[in-house]
Amino acid sequence: MVTFDQFLEMGPALPSATERPTRETEVTLRVGEKIFAMGTPESGRVCVKASEQEQAALLPAAPDTYAVAPYVGRHGRVPVELGGVGADELREPVTEARRSTAPKRPVRTFDAERAT
């Protein structure tokens, strides 16, 4: 089980990623102005950007944990129930969401650093 605070720690740990509160209770993880993940502390769920291939892999693997987001699911957003996922399991989709949102040069640098 992942807490909302653990989720928030995953974003700024990635290069160029920042945390920004929006509205009254929603918090977004961003690269520049582009959102790659977001959530509300009280909801027990977050929403992460994902490609169609990632959605296709995540949803059938754990349908009680992952879903297609209403309205924005077709644009690559996957809601994640924090109670049904471990930190290592969630870290991968958050990292991939950041990778797909960031400019290519910082992604190449990040990938090279992880490989060493």
Burial 80-115 (b: 16+ CB within 10 A, else e): bbbebbeeeebbebbbbbbbbbbeeebbeebeeeee
pLDDT computed for residue 100 by the predictor: 87
Condensed to tens digits (0 to 9), the pLDDT of residues 44-61 reads: 999 999 988 888 888 888
pLDDT computed for residue 2 by the predictor: 94
Confidence check: pLDDT of 3 > 60: yes
pLDDT computed for residue 39 by the predictor: 95
Q: Are 16 and 28 in contact (CB under 8 A)?
A: no
φ, ψ for residue 58 (rounded to 5)? -75, -45
Domains of the chain with CATH codes: 4-110 (3.90.1150.30)
pLDDT computed for residue 65 by the predictor: 93
Condensed to tens digits (0 to 9), the pLDDT of residues 68-108 reads: 877 655 567 899 999 999 999 999 999 999 988 887 776 66
Up-side HSE of residue 96: CA atoms within 13 Å toward CB? 18
What secondary structure letter does DSSP report for 22? E
